[in-house]
Structure 1
Amino acid sequence: MSWIIACFCVSAIAGCHWLAGVVAARPESEQQCWASLGGGAGVAYVFLHLLPELAIGGKALSEAQGIKTFATTPVIEAFLFLVALIGVTFFFSMDVISWQSKKNNSMVALVHGLAFALINYLYAYTLPALITTGRLYGLLFTVAISAHVLLADRTMARHHPLVYRRRFRWLGTAAVVLGFAHAALLPPITDLTLAIATAFLGGGLLISVFREEIPSPSSTRLWWFLSGLSLMTVLLLRALSLYHH
């Protein structure tokens, strides 16, 4: 049953790569509503699920047998946050390079494409394990990631429509399928492997939420933003009450 849900979730994420062009063609006022709704949901997901999971994972890592011989407890507990910071730095650097470089555009496009594929790959790779933790968590993760993919691809479709149609939507879809296939055939060997992948992915999600998914004050539809934030908050708190008691 969990794998059926996982297939549905992966299909939803992959489908967003193809819906972005449709969204980008809608009236600006309608796009602002959806962007505000998705931005609110993304913020709630970061604060109520992603960051707490990093803290819980760090604490569990510090209690692992023999781990304290390598570093002090506070350093061990901060390890997953360090991985998330590396993720933020990596994905931010890729965007800076792709936008600022005026030379060797083919290489810049290649690097940016690989970063784009990597984060989509990690979405699908971590999803099945998250669903086994709790189906509602998996569905909420899918909603948050789908909103992120849709908004990020919408930006690409608006500014580089030809590149988006010919390359990036195919690349994103292929990366999602490959990540899911990897998780099905060769699941994460240890919880630490999964935690590191999730933390790195979290870094990419953090930079995306706070730079792309929160609309500027001039274009934000406040009630839509608050609606997305409130709905995701209620659902995440419900998931916490179901799976932690």
Structure 2
Amino acid sequence: MHSLLSFIFALGFSMVHFSSKYMKFLTYIPRSRLLSVASGISVAYVFVHLLPELKEHQESIEGTGSTEIFRYLDSHVYIFAMLGLCAFYGIEKAVKHSQKKARKGKEEQRTTGLFWLHMSTFFIYNMLIGYLLVHGEFENLKEWLIYFFALSVHFISNDHGLRQSHEKIYDRYGRWVLTLSILIGWAIGVLTKVSEMVIAFLFATLAGGVILNVLKEELPEDRESNFGAFIAGVVGYTIILMSI
């Protein structure tokens, strides 16, 4: 039953990526209110649900005595969340720098290379999400739905940002890469099993990635994001999470 449910949710995630091309109601600028609501939901999920879960993982790791390499670190899990955020930030900066040069007609080939670097990063990111469908600690259907809904709207926002950055090449190749990545991550999860410590670090990396991806979509001034819609997403999903 667990494998069947996880596969259904993996298919659902994949369909979000596949259908993103056809979501014409998401305008580019000003940023769609729905995208800002989606970002708010993702933030609420991370801070109200995921980070408290990381705290439990941290306590579990400390209870096992951890390993020699982590013995002198007091916040192992949170360090991985920070590293996840930093890694995605570095990739985003490289892509933006390349795009500026491409507009001047200097580095078209390098821009294509960075597109694939960008896709590789999100491929791993999505594989992680698919993998955690199998090995995440989902105690009941409610936990699955919380995970699925929060990350589905997060995917919609990510797809929009990637399409805006890479345009036609994203619809031609990138969308398919991300569609398959979820299913590949799920398949790896079915075929392999890792320790609770590794699962904790994977969830931490995911948290850092979600935070960075939300901020990069909402903060740039040229996106004309809707603060009211963002707050509505944060407050609304926080209320839902606190009441169930």
Q: Which residue of 1 aligns with 2:157?
A: 151
CA distance in 2, matches of 1:94, 1:29: 23
Gaps of at least 5 residues in structure 1 are 240-245
2:104 corresponds to which residue? none
C-alpha contact 1:46 1:206 (8 A) present in aligned 2: yes
Q: What per-residue deviation string (whole Å, max 9, x for no partner) do you get for residues 130-172 of structure 1? A: 3633332221111111111111111222343311111111100
Unaligned runs of 5+ in 2: 102-106
Decide which of 197, 221, 242 is 1:192's aligned counterpart: 197
**Contact 1:3 / 1:128 at 8 angstroms: preserved in 2?**
yes
List aligned pairs for 1:23-172, cutoff 5 A. 23-24=23-24, 26-27=26-27, 32-65=32-65, 67=67, 71-72=71-72, 75-76=73-74, 78-101=75-98, 102=101, 103=107, 104-130=110-136, 132-172=138-178
Q: So what's the TM-score if we normalise by structure 1?
A: 0.84
Does the aligned pair in 1 maintain the 2:40–2:232 contact within 8 Å? yes
Q: Call closer, same or farther: CA 1:45–1:59 in 2, change over 3 Å.
A: same
2: CA distance, partners of 1:214 / 1:143: 23
Percent of matched pairs sharing the same residue: 24
Are 1:2 and 1:131, in contact at CA under 8 Å, matched by a contact in 2? no
Cα deviation, residue 107, structure 1: 2.9
3-state DSSP of counterpart to 2:184 = helix
Please give the secondary structure, in 2, of the residue aligned with 1:150: helix
Q: Which residue of 2 aligns with 1:8?
A: 8
* Letter of the 1:95 counterpart: E
Root-mean-square deviation (Å): 2.6
**What amino acid maps onto 2:160 in structure 1?**
R
For 1:111 and 1:215, the matched residues in 2 are separated by 22
Partner SS, residue 132 of structure 1: coil
Corresponding residue pairs, total: 234
Moved more, 58-67 or 193-202: 58-67
Q: For residue 97 of structure 1, report the CA deviation from its aligned partner.
A: 0.9
Query: How far is the alpha carbon of 1:191 from its aligned partner?
Result: 0.6
How far residue 66 of structure 1 moved from its aligned partner, in angstroms, is: 6.3
Contact between 1:130 and 1:138, CA under 8 Å: does it hold in 2? no
CA deviations on 1:72-108 (whole Å, 9 max, x unpaired) are: 4xx23x1111111111111111111112124423432
Displacement of 1:38: 0.7
More deviation in 120-129 or 206-215? 206-215
Aligned 8 A contact 1:17 1:172 in 2: yes
Question: Secondary structure, in 3 states, of the residue corresponding to 2:64?
Answer: coil
Provide Cα deviations, 1:31-54, integer angstroms capped at 9, x if missing partner: 622112212211211111122122
Match of 1:17 in 2: 17
User: Which residue matches 2:207?
Assistant: 202
Q: Are 2:81 and 2:204, in contact at CA under 8 Å, matched by a contact in 1?
A: yes
